[in-house]
Amino acid sequence: MTYLLALDQGTTSCRAILFDARGRVVRTAQQPLTQHFPRPGWVEHDAMEIRDRQFAVAREAMGGVEPGQIAGLGITNQRETTVVWDRATGEPIHRAIVWQDRRTAEMCARLRDEGLGPHVRRVTGLRLDPYFSGTKLAWLLENVAGARERAERGDLLFGTVDAWLVWWMTGGPDGGRHLTDVTNASRTLLWDLRQKRWDPLMLDALGIPEAMLPDVTPCAAAVGTWNDIAITGIAGDQHAALFGQGCLSSGDAKYTLGTGGFLLLNTGETAVASDAGLLTTTAWDLGHGLQYALEGSVFVAGAAVQWLGEGLGLLDDSREVGPLAASVESAGGVVFVPAFTGLGAPTWDPDARGSLFGLTRGTTVAHIARATLEGIAHQTADVLESMQSDSGLLLDRLRVDGGAASNDVLLQIHADLLGVSIERPANVEATAWGAAALAGIGAGVLSPESIVPPAPEAVFTPTLSDDERQRQRGLWRQAVERTRGWAAL
Protein backbone atom coordinates (compact mmCIF):
# COMPACT_ATOMS: atom_id res chain seq x y z
CA MET A 1 0.00 0.00 0.00
CA THR A 2 1.17 3.52 -0.83
CA TYR A 3 1.05 6.14 1.91
CA LEU A 4 1.56 9.91 2.05
CA LEU A 5 2.91 11.64 5.16
CA ALA A 6 1.98 15.22 6.03
CA LEU A 7 3.86 17.33 8.56
CA ASP A 8 1.51 20.05 9.80
CA GLN A 9 3.53 22.54 11.83
CA GLY A 10 0.99 24.95 13.29
CA THR A 11 0.96 27.87 15.67
CA THR A 12 -0.02 25.93 18.78
CA SER A 13 1.02 22.37 17.93
CA CYS A 14 3.19 20.12 15.82
CA ARG A 15 1.19 17.43 14.05
CA ALA A 16 1.81 14.64 11.59
CA ILE A 17 -0.80 12.65 9.72
CA LEU A 18 -0.32 9.50 7.68
CA PHE A 19 -2.79 9.19 4.79
CA ASP A 20 -3.45 6.46 2.32
CA ALA A 21 -3.46 7.45 -1.34
CA ARG A 22 -7.23 8.03 -1.22
CA GLY A 23 -6.90 10.68 1.45
CA ARG A 24 -8.09 8.56 4.36
CA VAL A 25 -6.40 9.19 7.72
CA VAL A 26 -4.38 6.19 8.87
CA ARG A 27 -2.67 7.59 11.95
CA THR A 28 -2.26 10.99 13.64
CA ALA A 29 0.27 12.25 16.17
CA GLN A 30 0.41 15.64 17.86
CA GLN A 31 2.40 17.56 20.47
CA PRO A 32 1.69 21.06 21.82
CA LEU A 33 4.04 23.94 21.10
CA THR A 34 5.11 26.29 23.88
CA GLN A 35 3.97 29.90 23.43
CA HIS A 36 6.24 32.71 24.62
CA PHE A 37 4.90 36.24 25.24
CA PRO A 38 7.93 38.30 26.36
CA ARG A 39 6.06 41.62 26.03
CA PRO A 40 2.52 42.72 25.16
CA GLY A 41 2.01 42.15 21.45
CA TRP A 42 5.12 39.97 21.13
CA VAL A 43 4.77 36.25 20.35
CA GLU A 44 7.69 33.83 20.02
CA HIS A 45 8.43 30.13 19.53
CA ASP A 46 11.55 28.07 20.23
CA ALA A 47 12.70 26.97 16.77
CA MET A 48 14.57 23.97 18.17
CA GLU A 49 11.40 22.86 19.96
CA ILE A 50 9.54 23.14 16.66
CA ARG A 51 12.14 20.95 14.96
CA ASP A 52 12.32 18.31 17.68
CA ARG A 53 8.58 17.99 18.26
CA GLN A 54 7.77 17.97 14.56
CA PHE A 55 10.21 15.16 13.88
CA ALA A 56 8.96 13.22 16.93
CA VAL A 57 5.33 13.30 15.80
CA ALA A 58 6.36 12.37 12.25
CA ARG A 59 8.03 9.20 13.53
CA GLU A 60 5.03 8.46 15.75
CA ALA A 61 2.54 8.88 12.90
CA MET A 62 4.51 6.47 10.74
CA GLY A 63 4.03 3.72 13.31
CA GLY A 64 5.18 0.47 11.75
CA VAL A 65 5.05 1.77 8.18
CA GLU A 66 8.39 1.49 6.40
CA PRO A 67 9.85 4.51 4.57
CA GLY A 68 9.68 2.58 1.31
CA GLN A 69 5.88 2.44 1.63
CA ILE A 70 5.60 6.25 1.80
CA ALA A 71 5.51 7.73 -1.69
CA GLY A 72 6.02 11.31 -0.57
CA LEU A 73 6.19 13.66 2.40
CA GLY A 74 4.45 17.03 2.38
CA ILE A 75 5.18 19.95 4.69
CA THR A 76 2.67 22.63 5.63
CA ASN A 77 3.41 25.31 8.16
CA GLN A 78 2.39 28.41 10.03
CA ARG A 79 3.31 31.13 7.59
CA GLU A 80 5.25 34.37 8.18
CA THR A 81 6.85 33.02 11.38
CA THR A 82 10.50 33.98 11.05
CA VAL A 83 13.62 31.98 11.92
CA VAL A 84 17.25 33.11 11.50
CA TRP A 85 20.00 30.62 12.17
CA ASP A 86 23.73 30.05 11.85
CA ARG A 87 24.68 28.35 8.60
CA ALA A 88 27.56 26.40 10.21
CA THR A 89 25.90 25.23 13.43
CA GLY A 90 22.14 25.44 12.87
CA GLU A 91 21.78 27.43 16.07
CA PRO A 92 18.99 30.05 15.93
CA ILE A 93 20.15 33.55 16.82
CA HIS A 94 16.84 34.30 18.58
CA ARG A 95 13.50 32.67 19.21
CA ALA A 96 11.31 32.47 16.13
CA ILE A 97 9.10 35.57 15.79
CA VAL A 98 5.54 34.33 15.24
CA TRP A 99 3.17 35.64 12.58
CA GLN A 100 0.93 37.13 15.30
CA ASP A 101 3.76 39.28 16.65
CA ARG A 102 3.29 43.07 16.36
CA ARG A 103 6.69 44.41 17.46
CA THR A 104 7.44 45.94 14.05
CA ALA A 105 4.36 48.19 13.94
CA GLU A 106 6.47 51.36 14.23
CA MET A 107 8.85 50.14 11.53
CA CYS A 108 5.91 49.53 9.19
CA ALA A 109 4.51 52.99 9.93
CA ARG A 110 7.87 54.59 9.17
CA LEU A 111 8.16 52.71 5.86
CA ARG A 112 4.63 53.81 4.93
CA ASP A 113 5.55 57.41 5.73
CA GLU A 114 8.55 57.02 3.41
CA GLY A 115 6.16 56.12 0.59
CA LEU A 116 6.95 52.41 0.28
CA GLY A 117 3.33 51.24 0.63
CA PRO A 118 2.27 51.44 -3.05
CA HIS A 119 5.36 49.49 -4.16
CA VAL A 120 4.63 46.77 -1.59
CA ARG A 121 1.03 46.45 -2.78
CA ARG A 122 1.97 46.43 -6.46
CA VAL A 123 4.93 44.05 -6.31
CA THR A 124 4.28 41.71 -3.36
CA GLY A 125 0.46 41.85 -3.23
CA LEU A 126 0.73 42.46 0.52
CA ARG A 127 0.77 45.56 2.70
CA LEU A 128 3.16 47.02 5.21
CA ASP A 129 2.01 45.26 8.34
CA PRO A 130 3.90 43.47 11.15
CA TYR A 131 2.09 40.26 10.11
CA PHE A 132 4.63 39.49 7.40
CA SER A 133 8.15 38.11 7.64
CA GLY A 134 10.21 40.90 6.09
CA THR A 135 10.03 43.40 8.93
CA LYS A 136 10.49 40.62 11.50
CA LEU A 137 13.74 39.68 9.75
CA ALA A 138 14.81 43.33 9.64
CA TRP A 139 14.08 43.63 13.38
CA LEU A 140 16.33 40.63 14.14
CA LEU A 141 19.18 42.10 12.09
CA GLU A 142 18.83 45.39 13.95
CA ASN A 143 18.34 44.08 17.48
CA VAL A 144 20.39 40.90 17.88
CA ALA A 145 24.00 41.78 18.64
CA GLY A 146 26.29 41.12 15.69
CA ALA A 147 23.50 39.76 13.50
CA ARG A 148 23.89 42.23 10.66
CA GLU A 149 27.64 41.69 10.38
CA ARG A 150 27.18 37.92 10.42
CA ALA A 151 24.44 38.15 7.78
CA GLU A 152 26.58 40.30 5.50
CA ARG A 153 29.42 37.75 5.80
CA GLY A 154 27.00 35.05 4.66
CA ASP A 155 26.99 33.25 8.02
CA LEU A 156 23.23 33.51 8.69
CA LEU A 157 20.22 31.99 6.95
CA PHE A 158 16.60 33.16 7.01
CA GLY A 159 13.54 31.02 6.53
CA THR A 160 9.93 30.54 7.40
CA VAL A 161 9.22 27.32 9.31
CA ASP A 162 9.08 25.16 6.16
CA ALA A 163 12.61 26.25 5.20
CA TRP A 164 13.86 25.66 8.74
CA LEU A 165 12.51 22.10 8.72
CA VAL A 166 13.69 21.26 5.19
CA TRP A 167 17.20 22.49 5.97
CA TRP A 168 17.46 20.12 8.94
CA MET A 169 15.69 17.25 7.17
CA THR A 170 18.12 17.34 4.25
CA GLY A 171 21.33 17.52 6.27
CA GLY A 172 21.39 20.66 8.36
CA PRO A 173 24.97 21.96 8.80
CA ASP A 174 26.18 19.02 6.69
CA GLY A 175 24.79 20.26 3.39
CA GLY A 176 21.11 20.85 4.16
CA ARG A 177 19.12 22.45 1.34
CA HIS A 178 18.07 26.03 1.96
CA LEU A 179 14.79 26.48 0.13
CA THR A 180 11.15 27.46 0.45
CA ASP A 181 8.15 27.22 -1.86
CA VAL A 182 6.29 29.95 -3.74
CA THR A 183 3.46 30.18 -1.20
CA ASN A 184 5.70 30.85 1.78
CA ALA A 185 7.90 33.16 -0.29
CA SER A 186 4.82 35.20 -1.19
CA ARG A 187 4.23 35.98 2.51
CA THR A 188 7.58 37.62 3.24
CA LEU A 189 7.09 41.17 1.83
CA LEU A 190 10.20 40.37 -0.23
CA TRP A 191 8.85 38.31 -3.15
CA ASP A 192 7.82 39.77 -6.49
CA LEU A 193 4.63 37.87 -7.32
CA ARG A 194 4.79 38.40 -11.06
CA GLN A 195 8.54 38.43 -11.69
CA LYS A 196 8.96 35.40 -9.39
CA ARG A 197 12.10 36.66 -7.70
CA TRP A 198 13.26 38.38 -4.54
CA ASP A 199 12.61 42.09 -4.99
CA PRO A 200 15.81 44.21 -4.86
CA LEU A 201 14.01 47.36 -3.72
CA MET A 202 12.44 45.61 -0.72
CA LEU A 203 15.72 43.99 0.25
CA ASP A 204 17.40 47.38 0.13
CA ALA A 205 14.61 49.14 2.05
CA LEU A 206 14.76 46.58 4.86
CA GLY A 207 18.54 46.12 4.80
CA ILE A 208 18.40 42.39 4.10
CA PRO A 209 21.35 40.65 2.37
CA GLU A 210 20.03 38.44 -0.42
CA ALA A 211 22.49 35.68 0.55
CA MET A 212 20.31 35.00 3.61
CA LEU A 213 17.29 34.09 1.50
CA PRO A 214 16.29 30.58 0.41
CA ASP A 215 15.87 29.30 -3.12
CA VAL A 216 12.22 29.15 -4.20
CA THR A 217 10.61 26.00 -5.62
CA PRO A 218 7.14 24.90 -6.83
CA CYS A 219 4.79 23.36 -4.26
CA ALA A 220 4.85 19.90 -5.84
CA ALA A 221 8.45 18.93 -6.46
CA ALA A 222 11.12 16.60 -5.09
CA VAL A 223 13.48 18.66 -2.91
CA GLY A 224 15.36 16.01 -0.92
CA THR A 225 14.87 13.10 1.47
CA TRP A 226 14.38 12.63 5.18
CA ASN A 227 15.07 9.20 6.64
CA ASP A 228 14.77 7.70 3.13
CA ILE A 229 11.39 9.38 2.51
CA ALA A 230 11.17 11.75 -0.45
CA ILE A 231 10.08 15.32 0.41
CA THR A 232 7.83 16.15 -2.55
CA GLY A 233 5.38 18.83 -1.37
CA ILE A 234 5.52 22.17 0.48
CA ALA A 235 2.87 24.83 1.00
CA GLY A 236 1.93 27.33 3.66
CA ASP A 237 -0.98 26.14 5.76
CA GLN A 238 -3.73 28.23 4.15
CA HIS A 239 -2.65 27.39 0.62
CA ALA A 240 -2.54 23.72 1.54
CA ALA A 241 -6.06 23.97 2.97
CA LEU A 242 -7.32 25.64 -0.23
CA PHE A 243 -5.84 22.76 -2.21
CA GLY A 244 -7.07 20.11 0.22
CA GLN A 245 -10.61 21.50 0.01
CA GLY A 246 -10.50 20.93 -3.74
CA CYS A 247 -10.72 24.66 -4.52
CA LEU A 248 -8.78 24.23 -7.75
CA SER A 249 -10.90 26.49 -9.97
CA SER A 250 -11.23 30.25 -10.11
CA GLY A 251 -14.10 31.32 -7.84
CA ASP A 252 -13.69 28.48 -5.32
CA ALA A 253 -13.28 29.62 -1.70
CA LYS A 254 -12.53 28.07 1.68
CA TYR A 255 -12.30 29.27 5.27
CA THR A 256 -9.96 27.70 7.80
CA LEU A 257 -10.90 28.19 11.44
CA GLY A 258 -7.94 27.55 13.70
CA THR A 259 -5.89 29.79 15.97
CA GLY A 260 -6.69 32.47 13.42
CA GLY A 261 -9.19 32.47 10.57
CA PHE A 262 -8.15 32.55 6.92
CA LEU A 263 -10.47 32.99 3.96
CA LEU A 264 -8.99 32.36 0.51
CA LEU A 265 -10.57 32.73 -2.92
CA ASN A 266 -8.91 31.06 -5.92
CA THR A 267 -8.50 33.65 -8.71
CA GLY A 268 -6.82 31.32 -11.20
CA GLU A 269 -3.94 32.67 -13.28
CA THR A 270 -4.89 36.29 -12.50
CA ALA A 271 -3.31 38.11 -9.57
CA VAL A 272 -6.30 40.26 -8.58
CA ALA A 273 -5.37 43.56 -6.94
CA SER A 274 -7.55 44.35 -3.94
CA ASP A 275 -9.24 47.69 -3.36
CA ALA A 276 -10.85 46.51 -0.12
CA GLY A 277 -7.89 45.69 2.11
CA LEU A 278 -7.31 42.08 1.10
CA LEU A 279 -4.06 40.41 0.09
CA THR A 280 -3.05 39.13 -3.31
CA THR A 281 -1.08 35.96 -2.80
CA THR A 282 0.15 32.82 -4.51
CA ALA A 283 -2.27 29.90 -4.36
CA TRP A 284 0.28 27.30 -5.55
CA ASP A 285 2.54 26.17 -8.35
CA LEU A 286 2.32 22.54 -9.39
CA GLY A 287 5.34 22.91 -11.62
CA HIS A 288 3.69 24.44 -14.66
CA GLY A 289 2.80 27.99 -13.60
CA LEU A 290 1.39 30.00 -10.74
CA GLN A 291 -2.20 30.19 -9.58
CA TYR A 292 -3.21 33.11 -7.38
CA ALA A 293 -5.67 33.83 -4.59
CA LEU A 294 -7.25 36.68 -2.67
CA GLU A 295 -6.91 36.31 1.09
CA GLY A 296 -8.34 37.89 4.21
CA SER A 297 -6.91 37.03 7.61
CA VAL A 298 -8.58 37.04 11.02
CA PHE A 299 -5.69 37.18 13.46
CA VAL A 300 -7.63 35.82 16.44
CA ALA A 301 -10.28 33.12 15.97
CA GLY A 302 -9.91 29.94 18.03
CA ALA A 303 -7.31 31.79 20.10
CA ALA A 304 -10.15 33.91 21.53
CA VAL A 305 -11.79 30.78 22.94
CA GLN A 306 -8.42 29.64 24.27
CA TRP A 307 -8.13 32.99 26.06
CA LEU A 308 -11.51 32.50 27.74
CA GLY A 309 -10.17 29.32 29.29
CA GLU A 310 -6.47 29.94 29.88
CA GLY A 311 -6.58 33.71 30.30
CA LEU A 312 -9.79 34.25 32.24
CA GLY A 313 -10.38 30.77 33.68
CA LEU A 314 -13.97 30.73 32.41
CA LEU A 315 -13.66 27.34 30.69
CA ASP A 316 -12.09 24.08 31.80
CA ASP A 317 -12.06 22.87 28.20
CA SER A 318 -12.45 24.87 25.00
CA ARG A 319 -15.20 22.46 23.90
CA GLU A 320 -17.42 23.91 26.62
CA VAL A 321 -17.78 27.22 24.76
CA GLY A 322 -20.40 25.94 22.29
CA PRO A 323 -22.94 24.65 24.83
CA LEU A 324 -22.29 27.67 27.05
CA ALA A 325 -22.91 30.11 24.19
CA ALA A 326 -26.01 28.18 23.11
CA SER A 327 -27.49 28.44 26.62
CA VAL A 328 -28.51 32.06 25.91
CA GLU A 329 -30.57 33.31 22.96
CA SER A 330 -28.29 36.25 22.32
CA ALA A 331 -25.17 37.94 23.65
CA GLY A 332 -27.39 40.34 25.62
CA GLY A 333 -25.99 43.41 23.90
CA VAL A 334 -22.36 42.40 24.55
CA VAL A 335 -19.90 42.83 21.66
CA PHE A 336 -16.38 41.40 21.87
CA VAL A 337 -13.68 42.56 19.44
CA PRO A 338 -10.83 40.01 19.91
CA ALA A 339 -8.10 42.33 18.62
CA PHE A 340 -5.40 40.98 20.94
CA THR A 341 -2.70 41.50 18.30
CA GLY A 342 -4.37 44.20 16.23
CA LEU A 343 -6.88 43.79 13.42
CA GLY A 344 -6.21 42.22 10.04
CA ALA A 345 -8.19 42.57 6.80
CA PRO A 346 -9.89 44.81 5.94
CA THR A 347 -9.13 47.17 8.87
CA TRP A 348 -5.36 46.59 9.21
CA ASP A 349 -4.79 48.37 12.49
CA PRO A 350 -1.84 46.95 14.48
CA ASP A 351 -2.71 49.30 17.37
CA ALA A 352 -6.26 48.02 17.87
CA ARG A 353 -6.72 45.98 21.04
CA GLY A 354 -9.27 43.52 22.34
CA SER A 355 -12.36 45.09 23.86
CA LEU A 356 -15.67 44.10 25.45
CA PHE A 357 -18.61 46.47 25.03
CA GLY A 358 -22.12 46.53 26.46
CA LEU A 359 -21.45 44.91 29.84
CA THR A 360 -24.19 45.26 32.47
CA ARG A 361 -24.89 43.72 35.89
CA GLY A 362 -26.97 41.18 34.00
CA THR A 363 -24.06 40.02 31.84
CA THR A 364 -23.11 36.39 32.47
CA VAL A 365 -20.29 34.10 31.39
CA ALA A 366 -22.68 32.66 28.79
CA HIS A 367 -23.19 36.10 27.22
CA ILE A 368 -19.43 36.63 27.02
CA ALA A 369 -18.97 33.16 25.50
CA ARG A 370 -21.58 33.91 22.84
CA ALA A 371 -20.08 37.36 22.16
CA THR A 372 -16.70 35.66 21.67
CA LEU A 373 -18.06 33.34 18.99
CA GLU A 374 -19.92 36.23 17.37
CA GLY A 375 -16.73 38.31 17.39
CA ILE A 376 -14.96 35.60 15.41
CA ALA A 377 -17.84 35.45 12.92
CA HIS A 378 -18.09 39.24 12.54
CA GLN A 379 -14.42 39.37 11.54
CA THR A 380 -15.10 36.67 8.96
CA ALA A 381 -18.06 38.65 7.63
CA ASP A 382 -15.83 41.72 7.22
CA VAL A 383 -13.43 39.67 5.11
CA LEU A 384 -16.17 38.06 3.02
CA GLU A 385 -17.77 41.41 2.22
CA SER A 386 -14.39 42.76 1.08
CA MET A 387 -13.69 39.66 -1.00
CA GLN A 388 -17.01 39.89 -2.80
CA SER A 389 -16.40 43.57 -3.48
CA ASP A 390 -12.95 42.90 -4.98
CA SER A 391 -13.86 39.86 -7.04
CA GLY A 392 -17.36 40.78 -8.12
CA LEU A 393 -18.46 37.31 -7.02
CA LEU A 394 -21.35 36.71 -4.62
CA LEU A 395 -20.70 33.53 -2.69
CA ASP A 396 -23.69 31.58 -1.44
CA ARG A 397 -21.69 28.92 0.39
CA LEU A 398 -18.37 28.62 2.13
CA ARG A 399 -16.37 25.45 2.81
CA VAL A 400 -14.78 25.36 6.25
CA ASP A 401 -12.05 23.31 7.88
CA GLY A 402 -9.70 23.55 10.83
CA GLY A 403 -9.93 22.59 14.48
CA ALA A 404 -12.53 25.22 15.44
CA ALA A 405 -14.79 24.04 12.59
CA SER A 406 -15.92 21.16 14.81
CA ASN A 407 -17.94 23.69 16.86
CA ASP A 408 -21.53 23.55 15.55
CA VAL A 409 -22.60 26.68 17.43
CA LEU A 410 -19.72 28.69 15.97
CA LEU A 411 -20.59 27.56 12.44
CA GLN A 412 -24.29 28.39 12.87
CA ILE A 413 -23.33 31.86 14.09
CA HIS A 414 -21.14 32.22 11.00
CA ALA A 415 -24.03 31.24 8.73
CA ASP A 416 -26.27 33.78 10.44
CA LEU A 417 -23.86 36.72 10.38
CA LEU A 418 -22.40 36.01 6.92
CA GLY A 419 -25.76 35.22 5.35
CA VAL A 420 -24.35 32.21 3.46
CA SER A 421 -24.48 28.44 3.92
CA ILE A 422 -21.49 26.96 5.74
CA GLU A 423 -20.37 23.49 4.59
CA ARG A 424 -18.20 21.29 6.80
CA PRO A 425 -16.67 18.11 5.36
CA ALA A 426 -16.52 14.89 7.36
CA ASN A 427 -12.73 15.22 7.42
CA VAL A 428 -11.73 18.71 8.55
CA GLU A 429 -8.02 17.89 8.06
CA ALA A 430 -7.95 19.85 4.81
CA THR A 431 -4.60 21.51 5.59
CA ALA A 432 -2.74 18.27 6.22
CA TRP A 433 -4.46 16.54 3.31
CA GLY A 434 -3.53 19.44 1.03
CA ALA A 435 0.13 19.00 1.95
CA ALA A 436 -0.13 15.24 1.44
CA ALA A 437 -1.91 15.68 -1.89
CA LEU A 438 0.77 18.09 -3.11
CA ALA A 439 3.36 15.51 -2.07
CA GLY A 440 1.43 12.86 -3.97
CA ILE A 441 1.48 15.00 -7.11
CA GLY A 442 5.17 15.77 -6.61
CA ALA A 443 5.84 12.04 -6.25
CA GLY A 444 3.77 11.19 -9.32
CA VAL A 445 1.20 9.01 -7.53
CA LEU A 446 -1.65 11.55 -7.72
CA SER A 447 -2.85 13.95 -10.39
CA PRO A 448 -4.50 17.36 -9.90
CA GLU A 449 -7.68 15.94 -11.42
CA SER A 450 -7.92 13.45 -8.55
CA ILE A 451 -8.20 16.25 -5.95
CA VAL A 452 -11.94 16.89 -5.61
CA PRO A 453 -13.99 18.82 -3.04
CA PRO A 454 -14.95 16.62 -0.09
CA ALA A 455 -18.66 15.95 0.38
CA PRO A 456 -20.15 18.06 3.20
CA GLU A 457 -20.84 16.23 6.45
CA ALA A 458 -22.96 19.11 7.77
CA VAL A 459 -24.49 22.25 6.27
CA PHE A 460 -25.43 25.29 8.37
CA THR A 461 -27.93 27.68 6.79
CA PRO A 462 -28.76 31.26 7.85
CA THR A 463 -31.64 31.73 10.30
CA LEU A 464 -31.39 35.47 11.05
CA SER A 465 -33.54 37.98 9.18
CA ASP A 466 -31.68 40.49 7.01
CA ASP A 467 -32.75 43.32 9.34
CA GLU A 468 -31.42 41.58 12.45
CA ARG A 469 -28.18 40.66 10.68
CA GLN A 470 -27.62 44.25 9.64
CA ARG A 471 -28.44 45.50 13.15
CA GLN A 472 -25.80 43.22 14.65
CA ARG A 473 -23.30 44.10 11.94
CA GLY A 474 -23.84 47.79 12.66
CA LEU A 475 -23.10 47.31 16.37
CA TRP A 476 -19.95 45.40 15.44
CA ARG A 477 -18.68 48.20 13.19
CA GLN A 478 -19.18 50.74 15.96
CA ALA A 479 -17.28 48.51 18.38
CA VAL A 480 -14.39 48.09 15.93
CA GLU A 481 -14.07 51.87 15.56
CA ARG A 482 -13.74 52.19 19.33
CA THR A 483 -10.87 49.69 19.50
CA ARG A 484 -8.76 51.36 16.83
CA GLY A 485 -5.48 52.96 17.79
CA TRP A 486 -5.78 51.94 21.45
CA ALA A 487 -2.17 50.78 21.83
CA ALA A 488 -0.91 54.10 20.46
CA LEU A 489 -2.72 56.23 23.08
Distance CA 419, CA 406 (A): 20
**What fold does the segment set 3-217 form as a domain?**
Nucleotidyltransferase; domain 5 (3.30.420)
pLDDT in tens, the chain (489 residues): 689 999 999 988 999 999 998 888 999 999 999 999 999 889 999 999 999 999 999 999 999 899 999 999 999 999 999 999 999 999 999 999 999 898 999 999 999 999 999 999 999 999 898 989 999 999 999 999 999 999 999 999 999 999 999 999 999 999 999 999 999 999 999 999 988 999 999 999 999 999 999 999 999 999 999 999 999 999 999 999 899 988 898 888 889 888 888 899 898 888 888 887 889 999 999 988 899 999 988 888 988 999 999 888 888 888 899 999 999 999 999 999 999 988 887 888 888 999 999 999 999 999 999 999 999 999 999 999 988 888 787 777 888 988 888 899 999 999 999 999 999 987 767 889 999 999 999 999 998 888 888 888 899 999 999 999 999 999 999 999 999 999 888
User: Positive or negative CA dihedral for 145, 149, 155, 159?
Assistant: positive
Would you state the pLDDT for residue 147? 96
Contacts of 425 (CB under 8 A, 6+ apart): 245, 399, 401, 454, 455, 456, 457
Q: Which CATH superfamily is domain 247-488 in?
A: ATPase, nucleotide binding domain (3.30.420.40)
3-217 and 247-488: same fold? yes
Distance CA 173, CA 135 (A): 26
Q: What is the DSSP letter of 446?
A: -
Would you state the pLDDT for residue 1? 65
Contacts of 349 (CB under 8 A, 6+ apart): 339, 342, 343, 483, 484, 485
For the chain, give every domain's residue range.
3-217, 247-488
Of 80, 71, 452, nearest in space to 259 by CA: 80
Would you state the pLDDT for residue 21? 81
Q: 227, 67 in Cβ contact below 8 A? A: yes
Q: 210, 203 in Cβ contact below 8 A? A: yes
| Overall residue count recorded for the chain in this entry | 489
Pairing label, strands 355-357, 197-198? unpaired
Distance CA 85, CA 63 (A): 31
Distance CA 466, CA 72 (A): 48
DSSP string, 281-333: EEEEE-SS-EEEEEEEEES-SHHHHHIIIIIT---SSGGGHHHHHHTSSS-TT
Would you state the pLDDT for residue 432? 92
Pairing label, strands 83-86, 156-159? antiparallel
Distance CA 186, CA 170 (A): 23
Task: Calculate Rg over the CA atoms of the chain.
Answer: 21
